[in-house]
Amino acid sequence: MLVTRMKLEILAAVALGALVFAAPASADDKIKVGIVAHAQGNPFIQQIVDGAQAAANDLGAELTVSQKAGGDPEAELKAVQDLVNSGVQGVATSVPGESMTKGLNEIIESGVPIVQFNLLGAAVNAPYVGEKSTQSGRILGKAIVDKLGGASATGTVILGNCFPGFPVLENRAKGVKESLAAAPGLTVLGPFDVKVSAVENYNHWQQLYAANPDAKALIGLCAPDIASLGKLNAETGDKFVAGGYDLTEDNLKAIKDGHAYVTLGQSAFVQGYLPIAILINAIKNKQVPGPGFYNSGTQIVTADSVDMGNGLPAISYAEAQAQAGDPKATAEYYAAWTKTLTPDLLSKAPAPVSAEGE
């Protein structure tokens, strides 16, 4: 195994037992919640949305989805405001810019609960569900250093970031660099802006590699990177080690085909399911949850090892690939985990937001 199985860190304590939310009597009585996401069309973001829909299905709620291209904070804030104005009782949203803070806090002050996921606004007065981003970067950086030969490794390593300036991604970069520093002979370039759309992402990586053809490793910090790097490596003779993030179908195929080495998942299903469960619990209890951090967990996948984290059952590489494009199979796999999310557990105070970057 690349690392030992990571323990469940979603909440401070794990309670056993089935979900006990009472089912609404009729469609008119259903709790109405919404989710607003960035990077519309990205398969990783779709996995989060699928997780949110699974939560709504399990808990008898009505979910409205709003996805926006790229990472425009103004567009996302307007989408949240539109959902609230339409009558939803709580909203899960990514926060791709601090300009969303004032508007989101005004919604929270009005009594409508908000839960953040994936992209954190540190000044938003709402919980956040996501990975421990700096630690995640450390794990990825160590995997690359080990693959290159450990402390004696030499050569150039290129970092790419699809959304420069976003705190979670900057933390990942920090963690990667910390681990790469264990090999003093490595020269780290970047992070460079490699954009989030699939076409732009590949083009930017292609340009970076053309300018640094002797690079030993290329590391991406976002969902599109592994697919781009796998394609680039295949076209250039598999000369560099590729590492990055997320368990999408294309990313897992690149690893299986030998064109990329390692990808880290951040539990997309959890990042969709848990915010909706928190919202529904808060709405039922007439509460507005404050700031805090829920660790969605880290998954580590190479061609030889699949660690799904969160105390989940071991699965094969083929099963991981099948789940990547199958929301129903994913929901079934996570069913035992969802049963730990009792109302009492969801009502407990989470870790401080600062724990996200530790």
Of the two residues 187 and 6, the one the predictor is more confident about is 187
pLDDT for the residue 29: 86
| Res. 20: pLDDT tops 60 | no
For 265-292, the pLDDT digits (tens) are 999 999 999 999 999 999 999 999 999 9
DSSP 8-58: P-SSSS---S---PPPPSSGGGS-EEEEEESSTT-HHHHHHHHHHHHHHHH
| Res. 1: pLDDT tops 70 | no
159 phi, psi to nearest 5 deg:
-105, 140
| Res. 143: pLDDT tops 80 | yes
CA atoms within 13 A on the CB side of 40: 10
- Fold classification of 27-131+267-297+327-349 is Rossmann fold (3.40.50)
| pLDDT classification of 192: cutoffs 50, 70, 90 | very high
Q: What average pLDDT does the segment 10-33 reach?
A: 52
**Distances from the Cα of 315 to the Cα of 6, 83, 227, 320, angstroms:** 15, 38, 22, 7
Same fold flag, 27-131+267-297+327-349 and 133-265: yes
pLDDT above 70 covers a percentage of the chain that reads 92
Comparing 50-54, 154-158, 310-314, the range with the smallest average pLDDT is: 310-314
Whether the ω angle into residue 191 lies within 30 degrees of 0, i.e. cis, is yes
User: Could you give the CA distance from residue 134 to residue 115 in angstroms, rounded to a whole number?
Assistant: 21
Cα end-to-end span (Å), the chain: 24
pLDDT for the residue 67: 97
Look up residue 351 and give its DSSP letter: B
**Four-point Cα dihedral 129, 134, 137, 141, nearest 10:** -160
Strand, coil or helix: what is 79? helix
219 phi, psi to nearest 5 deg:
-125, 125
- Fold classification of 133-265 is Rossmann fold (3.40.50)
User: Could you give the CA distance from residue 217 to residue 158 in angstroms, rounded to a whole number?
Assistant: 6
For 85-141, the pLDDT digits (tens) are 999 999 999 999 999 999 999 999 999 999 999 999 999 999 999 999 999 999 999
User: Could you give the CA distance from residue 306 to residue 300 in angstroms, rounded to a whole number?
Assistant: 6
Comparing 17-21, 34-38, 257-261, the range with the smallest average pLDDT is: 17-21
Locate 218 and state its tokens.
């290329």
- In the chain, where does DSSP find H-type helix? 43-59, 73-86, 101-109, 133-148, 167-180, 198-211, 225-235, 249-256, 268-284, 317-324, 327-333, 335-338, 343-347
Domain ranges across the chain:
27-131+267-297+327-349, 133-265
Strand, coil or helix: what is 271? helix
Give the helix/strand (H/E) hosting 156: strand 154-161
Locate 213 and state its tokens.
């053809």
pLDDT for the residue 7: 37
Q: What are the CB-based long-range contacts (under 8 Å, 24+) for 327-333? A: 327/47, 327/50, 327/53, 327/54, 330/47, 330/50, 330/51, 330/54, 330/269, 331/50, 331/51, 331/54, 331/269
pLDDT above 90 covers a percentage of the chain that reads 92
| pLDDT classification of 27: cutoffs 50, 70, 90 | low
